[in-house]
Structure 1
Amino acid sequence: MNSNKKVNVFYSRVSTLDQNDARQLDNLSGFDFVFADKCSGSIPIFDRPKGKQIRKLIDNGQLESLTIHSIDRLGRDTLSVLDVWKQLTEYGIKIICRNPSFQNLNEDGSINIFSDLMLSILSIMGDFEKKLIKERQIEGIEKAKLEGKYTGRVVNSKESVEQFLKKPKIKRIIRDINSGYTVREIAENANCSNTTILKVKKLLLTKPKL
């Protein structure tokens, strides 16, 4: 295949080898690749066997569109789905969801209005999930304290900017930023989200160059 050729991919996932993915693998004409993973949804999409092949197409600048049966094929929860959705949209890759039917980009490459609304809803759901997780953490810690079993860091304790910027992964991100790498390249090198990179850039604006 021509390495410069843009490709359209259909992706499906079921949790076990025994599950039937025929419902997802329907009407597949016109796709250059059809990838089907049979693994737990708890595994990030780009760490899955077929997901790694999709990641390679993205890295090579070949992926034009990614079609999925339902949006939950992209991640294990709202937060992970939202992260993948944002990443692909920033790369200009069209995501087409069949159930319900919507996509992130219009034919001219502009953001689809309905998709933007869905993204807002997902963001709200993601914030809600974060709060639930934090509440469960606090409840678990309080219970562990009562039982004399808690030895970890207290939830909501503040981490200084200096401590954050001294973390090994963050130091690598800073080196790549100072070397002039793009956000996409840094995300690939450090295996982190664009959000983390943008946070580091923002902090560096108020800190001496490291």
Structure 2
Amino acid sequence: MNRICIFARVSTNVQDYERQVNELTALAQRNNWSVEAVFCEKVSGAKKNTERKELSRMVEYVQAHHINKVAVTELSRLGRDTLQVLEVIEQFNKLGISLFIQNYGIETLTESGEVNPMSQFLITILAEVARMERKQIRERCESGYKNFRANGGKVGRKVGYKKSDEAMREQYAEEIRLLRKGISLRNISKITHTSINTIRKCQSLIEK
């Protein structure tokens, strides 16, 4: 019998993940899968994996309890950032854990535990489409800000405001991790979509 974990996520506190859990529980019953644990979080899927406590707990759990499969209703429940999603899937692949995505009816591993190349290809495309949608939303917001400023509006931090070192380390934990691995500023910027100036500030934190 497959031993599985259910993972559900919603973006805001006013949303509820009960529907996701109920659908995946019913799916497990139909397939005779044993649900060993359920992990739910209310957090933006655009956040880095290191900032998502329930996701981290779930990854630790599946490693410690010999879980065969993790089930989500949609790939976006795992995350909206292409790099972050693929990072989690790669961890699962190495551990022999299959990710089941309900709305597409696909799994990342075959029954024999091998990586399913077709599902991996599809997942990469779907995750990239989600990333592009986020980028378009961000660009529309930036366009709105520019229009607001052009009409005399003021945006941004108050004069004299400076983010604390501790806040910087928490917000840019992934960038700092990559810097410590010796990855160049330009490549880190491409991976995380963080500006090179901000990454330089992160570099100065490491040197303190």
Q: 1:126 aligns with which of 125, 131, 144?
A: 131
1:7 to partner: Cα distance: 6.0
Q: Is the 8 A contact 1:41 1:73 kept in 2?
A: no
Larger helix proportion of the pair: 2
Q: Is the 8 A contact 1:103 1:112 kept in 2?
A: no
Structure of greater relative contact order (alpha carbons < 8 Å, 6+ residues apart): 2
Aligned to 2:142: 137
Aligned to 1:47: 52
Aligned to 1:186: none
1:105 to partner: Cα distance: 2.7
* TM-score, reference length from structure 2: 0.55
Number of residue pairs matched by the alignment = 159
1:16 to partner: Cα distance: 3.2
Q: Distance in 2 between matches of 1:127 and 1:73?
A: 16
Pick closer, same or farther for the CA change 1:109–1:96 going to 2, 3 Å: same
What does residue range 1-210 of structure 1 map to in structure 2 within 5 Å?
Answer: 8-13=4-9, 15-16=15-16, 21-26=21-26, 27-28=28-29, 29-31=32-34, 33-37=36-40, 39-42=41-44, 47-49=52-54, 51-57=55-61, 62=66, 64-75=68-79, 79-80=80-81, 82-91=82-91, 92=93, 93-106=97-110, 107-151=112-156, 170=175, 173-175=178-180, 177=181, 195-196=191-192
Question: What SS is found at the alignment partner of 1:11?
Answer: strand
Q: Is the 8 A contact 1:141 1:150 kept in 2?
A: no
Question: What SS is found at the alignment partner of 1:23?
Answer: helix
Deviations 1:156-206 (A, max 9, x none): xxxxxxxxxxxx85455333x26xxxx9xxxxxxxx9x944xxx9xxxxxx
Which blocks of at least 5 consecutive residues in structure 1 are unaligned? 1-5, 153-167, 184-191, 201-209
Which blocks of at least 5 consecutive residues in structure 2 are unaligned? 158-171, 197-206
Q: Distance in 2 between matches of 1:99 and 1:67?
A: 11
Name the % identity.
Answer: 11
Over aligned residue pairs, what C-alpha RMSD do you find? 4.1
* TM-score, reference length from structure 1: 0.55
